[in-house]
A and B are shown apart, each in its own frame.
Chain A
Amino acid sequence: AQKVTQAQTEISVVEKEDVTLDCVYETRDTTYYLFWYKQPPSGELVFLIRRNSFDEQNEISGRYSWNFQKSTSSFNFTITASQVVDSAVYFCALSEGSGGYNKLIFGAGTRLAVHP
């Protein structure tokens, strides 16, 4: 069955620390997409990244980087030199071909608190 697990419920760091948010997924499909979204305290969902199952290259965008490893079914998200503005709930999600990509399967989310 399809499933996304974010084992870290809450993480608390001090500003400028690096932090990694874990995401482990389960799927029987060979073609799928993985996503990360940010939900700041204001409540909206902000799209961060989408990665397809055939592209295992790591990606870096500013202080954000993503490590996709099919061998361990993981798609981890690292924030380098964290800032207070990074405080939010972060969701990892999966979209599968067998479902026509019509649904996102979300993890439970990780709440990140960055303290000054």
Chain B
Amino acid sequence: EAQVTQNPRYLITVTGKKLTVTCSQNMNHEYMSWYRQDPGLGLRQIYYSMNVEVTDKGDVPEGYKVSRKEKRNFPLILESPSPNQTSLYFCASSETSGGFREWQFFGPGTRLTVL
């Protein structure tokens, strides 16, 4: 089954304690992206990756890092989490069709609370 998986699904942590949210896709997609969802703001892009070792900032990258060492994995790293990073996080992957990204597949979401 084609899918994007994220782990953990729920996480409560404390300020300053480094954490990683994993994202994996089994569709051999080149494009992957991270979004955060906040009430009244919809989803905003944090980082995206066009292929292995190719990543770039989205609209709200501050406080986050990513890596793309393998095509299937795109982890989101919070080196020193702060309460304003409390949010619902989504990973997405996409194939390219006719030059554009289809953005059809999203992970189940990770609800992060930073105390």
Contact = CB atoms under 8 A, between A and B. Distances in A.
Chains A and B come from one and the same complex: yes
Interface of A: 4, 6, 33, 35, 37, 43-45, 47, 50, 52, 91, 93, 95, 97, 100-104, 106-109
Contacts of B92: 104
Contacts of A52: 100
Contacts of B106: 37, 44-45, 47
B44 interface: yes
Q: Is the interface of B mostly helix, strand, loop or mixed?
A: strand
Contacts of B56: 102
B14 interface: no
Interface residues of B, number: 28
Contacts of B48: 102-103
A48 B108 CA distance: 16
A109 B100 contact: no
A11 to B, nearest CB: 16
Contact of B58 (A93, A103, A109): A103
Given A102-B33, A102-B50, A108-B40, A47 B104 contact: yes
Given A35-B103, A103-B58, A91 B109 contact: no
Contact of A45 (B44, B45, B90, B111): B90
Nearest to A52: B100
A43 B109 contact: yes
A45 B105 CA distance: 8
B30 to A, nearest CB: 11
Given A43-B109, A44-B109, A45-B90, A104 B40 contact: no
Contacts of A50: 102-104
Contacts of A107: 42
